[in-house]
Structure 1
Amino acid sequence: MYQIKTFNAIAPEGMARFEAENYAIDQGENPDGIILRSQKLHDYAFPESVLGVARAGAGTNNIPVEALTEKGIVVFNTPGANANAVKELVVATLLLSVRPILQGANWVQSLTGGNLEEVAEANKKQFAGHELEGKRLGVIGLGSIGAMVANDAYRLGMEVMGYDPYVSVDTAWTISRRVKRAQQIEDIFTTCDFITIHVPLTDATRNLIGEKEIAMMKPTTRVFNFARGEIVDTDAILKAIENEELGGFTTDFADEKLLHNPKILVLPHLGASTEEAEINCAKMAARTLKRFLETGVIKRSVNFPTVEMSFQSPYRITIIHNNVPNMVGQISTEVAKLGINIENMVNRGRGDYAYTLIDVSETDETKMVRVKRHLAGKENVVRVRTIKNAEVFNEWI
């Protein structure tokens, strides 16, 4: 039976995927897997039993990914599961940025007297705004969210320009052919009326928008940050708005310095805060973690390569190892020494680490214990598992 530890409240629709006969939830001190949302785990003492960590969300800044990679712990996220929720909020704030809807609604609430309709009609001009149609939107990052924002903005009548040198083939197929491609990010900064950012936080994207980038923009340009707070230099934004060098800023990350400025809209991290998004993220996180524990398949990992292979043998050996030459040969030789026949095998690398799956036609559990011990003792091997395919195993014996 697998042990699962949860942090935060995970939607029950997701947790239901861990059937009671095979999984125990929050019942032990040595979990095989962890599933969480926003809990910070940088100070958490991970038990040696932990094989995988799944975040019900896209960002993994609350997880010590590098340290877990060194321990051979696979970290998963749920890209795209909350994309529609974030996209809808971005579109909503685009509309709010050109139409003073909130200001008008609040003003009406303050009115008193019997001639309210006449007063409202006589004073509505103070809340006149602009239209998005015909304006140019720049989308930096064309992943699941950015692609959806680009498509919907085009449907609103906007000219849309996207920049993403790493866009995946799958995502590229979903983007409207009418979304123009920026050859370099400067094209976004110099030509767009609105700029929205949808990239992960890395050393390369930290302060992606700063004084230099703002200086390229029109003084009327409005910037939207629904990615991560640190991607935009807050001080540079404030300085530009004070000097009337930027039209406005909208962010989903609360910062006291940004409050009480009429040209800045600060939201309390509402991007993925819908019931549907929480359910979708929980389902995807649970499904991904469950599949990894039961079959060793890695998909949607932020620290190890995607490795998928149909599991049709009695046993599977999984090896996390350093991505160095001749590891596959050494592993195969070690398995063969014990007289174990390899039926299928796949190896993938990612950076300094690699992952190998080996399916074997072996039913002798003693041999499997020995091969695990031998492989685990080899240089450059980080972690070894043997997974029994109970259904197939019973057919073989």
Structure 2
Amino acid sequence: MVTVTLDKVKTIKTLNHIAESGLKVFHHEDYRIDAESEDPDAIIVRSYNMHDMEIKNNLKAVARAGAGVNNIPIDKYSEAGVVVFNTPGANANAVKEIVLTSLMASSRNIFDGIEWAKTLEGKGEEVPQLVETGKKRFVGKEIKGKKLGVIGLGSVGALVANDALNLDMDVIGFDPYISIDTAWSLSRNVERAMSIEEVFETADYITVHVPLTNETKDMFNEKAFQLMKPGVHILNFSRGGLVHEGDLEIALEAGVVGKYITDFPTDTILKMKNAVSLPHLGASTIESEENCAVMATSQVKTYLETGNIKNAVNFPNAELPYTGKQRITVFHHNVPNMVGQISAIISEKHLNIAAMINKSRGNYAYTMIDIDEKVNGDVIPGIRAAINQIEDVIRIRVI
């Protein structure tokens, strides 16, 4: 168990280049940005691999300036009471744009055409005629009136689905875990698929927008490809591990899959026929990097100063208006009677609880309690010591 108090000056460590617009959030006398710090209060990261990093007791939060958190050992940080944030939706527009761009470019064989045109260099005055005779090799298809299947209707998937409708495509979407907010933002003209197989069977183009989990790993495999319409185009701007490479290669060779466009090239995929590899450009825009940085740093600053959690991936979101009263926050396992035990300890000190919130997420829970007045002397240390003795308490912070 770890007990921490909020020091006046907080140290923020960066593990990658973070846009200055985001770091400006910490341009305040209470913060210090130090990329070399060995014991920071918080870490801001993009793609740096954190799996082998030691967790120091002072570390309170990690924020990923992006959506995926595969580079962060979530379980390890959860057991240390370190909140891990991400920035869902901050790069959604950037990814949406590259998905739709790739959708049209692949359908019109633009990628292949560009590569072929490069081979005409040095042909001099013959180039115009060679272009006219060679262009028939790259006759494509218009996307208007075709069906786009969108698997995963989160921040990116919903934007792709809505904008594809504006391109006069028919759109079918599948997401058994769709949020209420996304459902409200999704056009009523997006057809709802009752199963992923329905998308596989009916779509001319399929784009996937789901995280890589044990459940989704290799979801595009031989069985899935056998259900698809011959010549289907598959776009993967989520994670490479969603596709079984061996099965994909066979499907491409047989023409079952007409094109595979991915943002996650591997040596194997680079050798495949009709596979188009982009160098992980999905969120690589100036605007996206700034949006992610601002969102990540703002969430960390709010958490350090108030204890409020928004967009965590390992603990529940919990927000309680901060009035400057003495605030006690407790991370603990999600077991019965934790709130009762914590409240009883505070009551034993003859203190009133002004406000309280308790939220759970899976095996973990988070409790915030505001004491009705500022407490001096050894009262708070005594409360901390007593709460620390409760089984299944992970970490305590006093703000």
Please state which band the TM-score falls in when normalised by the shorter chain: over 0.9
Distance 1:128 1:242 in 2: 20
Query: Does the 8 Å contact 2:253/2:273 carry over to 1?
Result: no
User: What secondary structure sits across from 1:14 in the alignment?
Assistant: helix
- Deviation string for 1:145-165 (max 9, x for gaps)? 000111111111111000001
Structure 2 residue runs of 5 or longer lacking an equivalent are 1-8
Tell me which residue corresponds to 2:210: 199
The Cα of 1:121 is off from its aligned counterpart by 4.0
What amino acid is the match of 2:16? Answer: N
Query: Does the 8 Å contact 1:313/1:360 carry over to 2?
Result: no
Q: TM-score, normalised by structure 2?
A: 0.94
Tell me which residue corresponds to 1:374: 386
What amino acid is the match of 2:96? Answer: K
Select which of 157, 168, 172 maps to 2:183.
172
Query: How has the CA–CA distance of structure 1 residues 165 and 243 changed in structure 2, closer, same or farther, with 3 Å as cutoff?
Result: same
Query: How has the CA–CA distance of structure 1 residues 155 and 228 changed in structure 2, closer, same or farther, with 3 Å as cutoff?
Result: same
Query: Does the 8 Å contact 2:51/2:73 carry over to 1?
Result: yes
Tell me which residue corresponds to 1:190: 201
The Cα of 1:341 is off from its aligned counterpart by 1.2
Deviation >6 Å, runs of 4+: none
Q: How does 1:307-386 map to 2 (within 5 A)?
A: 307-366=318-377, 367-386=379-398
Q: How does 1:216-231 map to 2 (within 5 A)?
A: 216-231=227-242
User: What secondary structure sits across from 2:160 in the alignment?
Assistant: helix
User: What secondary structure sits across from 1:265 in the alignment?
Assistant: strand
Identity %: 48
Distance 2:134 2:42 in 1: 59
Select which of 25, 29, 39 maps to 1:17.
25
Select which of 32, 37, 40 maps to 1:31.
40
1:293 aligns with 2:312: no
User: What secondary structure sits across from 2:366 in the alignment?
Assistant: strand
Query: Does the 8 Å contact 2:252/2:273 carry over to 1?
Result: no
Tell me which residue corresponds to 2:272: 261
Distance 1:352 1:119 in 2: 65
Select which of 138, 148, 173 maps to 1:127.
138
Query: Does the 8 Å contact 1:313/1:361 carry over to 2?
Result: no
Aligned residues: 387
Distance 2:267 2:244 in 1: 14
The Cα of 1:42 is off from its aligned counterpart by 0.4
- Deviation string for 1:145-186 (max 9, x for gaps)? 000111111111111000001111111111111110001111
Tell me which residue corresponds to 1:145: 156
Distance 1:103 1:253 in 2: 19
Distance 2:349 2:62 in 1: 33
Structure 1 residue runs of 5 or longer lacking an equivalent are 388-397
What amino acid is the match of 1:15? Answer: L
The Cα of 1:20 is off from its aligned counterpart by 3.1
The Cα of 1:246 is off from its aligned counterpart by 1.8
Select which of 267, 272, 284 maps to 2:295.
284
The Cα of 1:372 is off from its aligned counterpart by 1.8
- Deviation string for 1:265-301 (max 9, x for gaps)? 0111111111111110000000001101100001100
Query: Does the 8 Å contact 2:249/2:272 carry over to 1?
Result: no
Q: CA RMSD in A?
A: 1.5
Q: TM-score, normalised by structure 1?
A: 0.94
User: What secondary structure sits across from 2:276 in the alignment?
Assistant: strand
The Cα of 1:24 is off from its aligned counterpart by 1.0
Tell me which residue corresponds to 1:306: 317
Query: Does the 8 Å contact 1:220/1:246 carry over to 2?
Result: yes
The Cα of 1:107 is off from its aligned counterpart by 4.1
The Cα of 1:108 is off from its aligned counterpart by 4.2
The Cα of 1:259 is off from its aligned counterpart by 1.3
Greater length-normalized contact order (CA 8 Å, ≥ 6 residues apart): 2
Query: Does the 8 Å contact 2:326/2:375 carry over to 1?
Result: no
Select which of 44, 51, 61 maps to 1:52.
61
The Cα of 1:125 is off from its aligned counterpart by 2.8
Query: Does the 8 Å contact 2:145/2:168 carry over to 1?
Result: yes
Distance 1:313 1:103 in 2: 61
Relative to structure 2, which stretch is displaced further, 284-293 or 310-319? Answer: 310-319
Relative to structure 2, which stretch is displaced further, 332-341 or 120-129? Answer: 120-129
Select which of 75, 78, 82 maps to 2:87.
78
User: What secondary structure sits across from 1:43 in the alignment?
Assistant: coil
